[in-house]
Chains A and B, each alone.
Chain A
Amino acid sequence: GESVGLHLPTLSVQEGDNSIINCAYSNSASDYFIWYKQESGKGPQFIIDIRSNMDKRQGQRVTVLLNKTVKHLSLQIAATQPGDSAVYFCAENMGPTGANSKLTFGKGITLSVRP
């Protein structure tokens, strides 16, 4: 859904621990999902994506899990580092064409890594 008017929640983790960032998406018809990372003063940057025909996808130190039954998306970061401190957004696309084809962002979570 839209992320308007609310300050972002914060997840604090110890350096070296694994982080799990969760997102509830809004539309069961969504077929494509993305996680973005936004560092201070910069635009969001792509981390990893997953299509609805998959449950899990792994990248370098990151894993995205998709549970379509409960419309839940999660991002797992292994061995969290100080450079992982940022705001993380999930995004969904509701289809390639038509009125719902735009990319819609979740509210965002601030990840803070403790040294």
Chain B
Amino acid sequence: GAGVSQSPSNKVTEKGKDVELRCDPISGHTALYWYRQRLGQGLEFLIYFQGNSAPDKSGLPSDRFSAERTGESVSTLTIQRTQQEDSAVYLCASSPGGGAIPNTEAFFGQGTRLTVV
């Protein structure tokens, strides 16, 4: 596809269930980010992948959150035992820059709106 694709676009889950969110970055982009955005608030950094380097997980709020990326392709963000406080829009972004070449803009997907009931 032409842009960053996220699925599902909306997810309603019961408290205590696990959820998996998917991000398909733009082909060839080495950098991939996950952010969380609560209603009316800013972007909260979660995790950053850059090529084959170890991911920067410093933004993950608890051990219930984890993310994986297969090479420079798809990434999945998993939230275990979801809580109502996890309700938010989860945004993924990818960028061709970083690593061996200068940084450039990151391109965002439309996000996954997660509602925990």
Contacts and interface: CB of A to CB of B under 8 A. Distances in A.
Interface of A: 2-8, 31-32, 34, 36, 42-46, 49, 51, 89, 91, 93, 95-97, 99, 101-108
B41 A96 contact: no
Contacts of A6: 41-42
Interface stretch (B12-20, B62-70, B74-82, B103-111): B103-111
Secondary structure class of chain A's binding surface, majority of residues: loop
B105 A89 contact: no
B42 A32 contact: no
Interface residues of B, number: 32
Interface of B: 4, 31, 33, 35, 40-45, 48, 50, 56, 59, 91, 93, 95, 97-111
Contacts of A45: 108
A93 B31 CA distance: 12
Contact of B98 (A8, A34, A101): A101
A32 B106 CA distance: 12
A96 B42 contact: no
